[in-house]
Amino acid sequence: MTVYQPPGRPGSIVGYHPRYEHWIGGTWTPPVRGRYFENPTPVTGQPFTEIARGTAEDIEAALDAAHAAAPAWGRTAPADRAGLLLRIADRMEQHLEELAVAESWENGKPVRETLAADLPLAVDHLRYFAGALRAQEGGLSQLDEDTVAYHFHEPLGVVGQIIPWNFPLLMAVWKLAPALAAGNTVVLKPAEQTPASIMLLMELIADLVPPGVINVVNGFGVEAGKPLAASSRIRKISFTGETTTGRLIMQYASGNLIPVSLELGGKSPNLFFADVADRRDDFYDKALEGFAMFALNQGEVCTCPSRALIQSSIYDGFLGDGLDRVRAMRQGNPLDTETMVGAQAGNDQLEKILSYIDIGQAEGAKVLAGGERVDLGGELSGGYYVAPTVFEGTNDMRIFQEEIFGPVVAVTRFEDFEDGIGIANDTLYGLGAGIWSRDGSTAYRAGRAIQAGRVWTNCYHHYPAHAAFGGYKNSGIGRENHKALLEHYQQTKNLLVSYSGRAQGFF
């Protein structure tokens, strides 16, 4: 085991600067209005750096830089664009441990997750889109003997991206990699809860990226995110967040007639069919881990399997074993590699989760585990820790219908296949789902019947590149994480060419 020192302390492998400006046009650019905001770590609740508080003026400056860089970047050979992604990936890999510790400190997530998932996935994602770009082909259709339709991919130009705080580096890379590969320049607005780790990354790759190709403006949603989303100078807006802001962004986009990509969360069902418990073997152990996955990243994942649906005939035994697995979770200092559950990202998240624990109990749900804030003592007393919580109730309760974004799972039973699918689909959302069965036919039929964009089958919370990710229903529009995304960041240019030497004959 390793316990990392907090960034900036003696013995730490990484440090943050006391202040970060915007990253615009390849230089550190102070905010036009000269204001900054403090960035606290949820590990202790104490500020560790301050961040430029961007406004519309800074967004305009970033858009100027992005527009200046766009023509040349769009003409850059695909091999060279792919080369940039590969060099960024290599640089991140060389500094993986530092970035993992820095992100853990900023977000509160356990370093074992940033080391094993967030950063390796980000590195691989860059390499995937480098490869996808190299392999992308346009089209050629012969319409008749003398007429040919050529289809070219052209960049959109300048795109806006607003990213969430739950995976600050991975979500940035999820959006940046396809946009850059496709030949666009970007203005990125990080979440105000996690504005610093992305700046650490920009500093690390500053010498690799042509000025203006990536521009990062920090600030609050209403002051910096809105002017970006509403700007008439972007050709696409991509957003990960929640439904009301998603609607607002679509509304702004409608004014500018530009496409949107929205990833808006979910209330993902995790179905355990009775045959899971046929034997107490490795598969059963794997399924129990699947049940416990609600606590990954403290539940701050859009696809958190926050509704566990267990078939009646195995309900008591499976739930009992699941609770044992939950009680065995180690909560503690996020910088300790043995820690499985760290801190919630902020005080308001903590308060929201506690308010849901209240309404859950008021609605008659039973707390089977957790259900309270945790004080870890010492310096960590100021941090935002919630015990992994298991509720038992019914699917009409609000804790079964709303995304709590905490380490909280709501458990209920189902009788048969139809009942299970019915409960699974009785939700506004459709981002993720889990199916657990030893029977391939059951798993297949259930996976096809569930209205969700990603159905993990006998697994959960894998996010490999080359597996499309995105939502049905209120969970959003568009997909990420797949080569198809290149075309979402490109125009289709059709050259319709006649090789005939004769007039058409109309005039």
Partner 1 sequence: MPPLTRPSQVAVTPLAAELLKQLGGEHGPLMFHQSGGCCDGSAPMCYPAGELLVSPETDRLLGELEVTGLDPIPVWMSRSQYAYWSHTHLTIDVVPGRGSGFSLESPTGLRFLTRSRLLTDEESAALNR
How far apart (Å, rounded) are the C-alpha atoms in residues 431 and 305? 10
Minimum Å gap between C-beta 40 and partner 1 is 8
- Residues in contact with partner 1 by the rule CB under 8 A: 37, 53, 164-166, 191-193, 220-223, 225-226, 229, 240-248, 251, 263-266, 300, 302, 346-349, 351-352, 355-356, 358-359, 362-363, 396, 398, 401-405, 428-429, 474-475
Q: Is the distance from CB of 211 to CB of 65 less than 8 angstroms?
A: yes
How far apart (Å, rounded) are the C-alpha atoms in residues 126 and 279? 41
Q: 62 or 133, CB closer to partner 1?
A: 62
Q: 132 or 216, CB closer to partner 1?
A: 216
Cα 432–459–320 angle (5° rounding)? Answer: 95
Annotated catalytic residue, options 21, 113, 302, 480: 302
Minimum Å gap between C-beta 469 and partner 1 is 13
Can you name the residues that pair with 262 across neighbouring β-strands?
239, 477
Q: How far is CA 481 from CA 88, 124, 365, in A?
A: 17, 11, 37
Minimum Å gap between C-beta 249 and partner 1 is 9
Q: 241 or 478, CB closer to partner 1?
A: 241
Residue 60 annotated among the catalytic residues of the structure = no
Q: Is the distance from CB of 480 to CB of 175 less than 8 angstroms?
A: yes
Q: 97 or 242, CB closer to partner 1?
A: 242
Annotated catalytic residue, options 263, 300, 402, 403: 263
* Helix ranges, 293-396 (H): 315-327, 347-362
Minimum Å gap between C-beta 225 and partner 1 is 6
How far apart (Å, rounded) are the C-alpha atoms in residues 436 and 456? 9
Q: Is the distance from CB of 300 to CB of 344 less than 8 angstroms?
A: yes
Minimum Å gap between C-beta 265 and partner 1 is 3
Residue that has been written with the tokens 């995937």 in this structure: 128
Q: Residue 490 CB: number of other CB atoms within 10 A?
A: 21
Q: 278 or 348, CB closer to partner 1?
A: 348
Residue 289 annotated among the catalytic residues of the structure = no
Minimum Å gap between C-beta 175 and partner 1 is 14
Q: 296 or 319, CB closer to partner 1?
A: 296
Q: How far is CA 2 from CA 102, 119, 331, 334, 338, in A?
A: 15, 18, 15, 11, 8
From the list 22, 197, 17, 186, the residue with the least C-alpha distance to 118 is 197
| Catalytically active residues, by annotation | 263, 302
